Each structure stands twice: as structure tokens, then as C-alpha cells.
Amino acid sequence: MSDTLLKIARASISNRLGIEFPEPDCPPELNEPGATFVTLTLDGNLRGCIGTLEAHRPLFLDTRQNAIAAAFSDPRFPPLSMAEHAHIRIEVSLLSQAAPLVFSGEEEALRQLSPGIDGIIFECGRSRSTFLPQVWESLPEPASFLAQLKLKAGLSGSFWSDEVKLSRYTVSKWQEQ
């Protein structure tokens, strides 16, 4: 499955740029619903990352759509150029179903986080954000991880409310070599 998802992502981006790249045949399991994030890096730096938190379409289609969005619609970056195409590295993360955390306050929530393992979804009112488990590599402390997640949601890093909801998920991930 890993090679197939990476090839689907590469083919989707290449074909959108007008570079002919055959999409692989899909094994039956890729027709099952799945949630993915597609991350693009260029020279080791983030170049785009878009994904889906809940499985609502076939895995092959989710990967295809997220690859195109990461390359051409991530609001943090201009659309991927033809010159960049040959140099990007693609990673596909397949998400497990998210499970809510139960806590009575921020300190209790922080104690439940598993650095390096958990992807976290932060929600409060209309504010929502997520970090994949890979983000723990650059934010290894739970307090700083959660503070940056709040900032990503458009809130203060010190924000807290009884309305905060946190969920966790894990990923299986594959990278181009």
C-alpha cells in the first residue's frame, strides 16, 4: 500500500503540472474510506501539507485530492512550480480514527499526550487545528506542542477554556526516498 499511495500522490501532482506520470492500479483496500495528510518538503523544509481528519471518501481519492491541494492550494505557499517539482519529497500519512481525550483542565490534558505518537486535534468553538505526530520532532514538550496548536487555531498560546476539546490519532506514514 505504501508505494501505491506515494505513486498516487506523485502522479496526481505531476499530471496537474502536465508531466505525464501513470497512476498505479489500485488494490481493493484503497477503495475503502481513509483519511490522509500529504506533506511536501523541498530541501528539507515544509513546502505544503494538506489533509483530511475523517475518512469520508475512498483512500486513493483522498490521497489524490490531498496531494493536489498540498502542491497547489496550501495557503502558506504559492502553487508548486515546474522547477520545484523534481526536487520535492512526498510523505503520505494515513490517520487512524480520532479518539476524544477526557480531562478536567489543561494540566490533566497535557499529562495524557504521548509525544512522538499522538497526532492531536484541538477544537474550541469555531477554532480548530491539528498537528501530525511528526510535529513532535520540532516541538517535543507537551506544553509547547499544545501552545503552538492553539496559535495555529488562531488563539493565544496561553488560551484555555472549559469548552476546549482534544482528540488524538496515530498515523502510518511513508516517504519517498
Query: pTM of whole model > 0.85?
Result: yes
Are 22 and 93 a contacting pair, CB within 8 Å? no
Tally the C-alpha atoms within 13 A of residue 6's C-alpha that lie toward its C-beta.
13
Cα 77 to the center of its chain, rounded Å: 16
Element spanning 92, H or E: strand 88-95
15, with CB counted inside 10 A (0-12, 13-18, 19+), is middle
Q: Domains of the chain (ranges plus CATH)?
A: 2-95 (3.30.700.20), 99-170 (3.30.1490.150)
Tally the C-alpha atoms within 13 A of residue 59's C-alpha that lie toward its C-beta.
18
Q: Which of 115, 95, 120 has its CA nearest to residue 39?
A: 95
Per-residue pLDDT of the chain (177 residues; tens, 9 = 90+): 678 999 999 999 999 999 988 888 888 999 999 999 999 999 999 999 999 999 999 999 999 999 999 999 999 999 999 999 999 999 999 999 999 999 999 999 999 999 999 999 999 999 999 999 999 999 999 999 999 999 999 999 999 999 999 999 999 999 998
Q: What is the pLDDT of residue 170?
A: 97
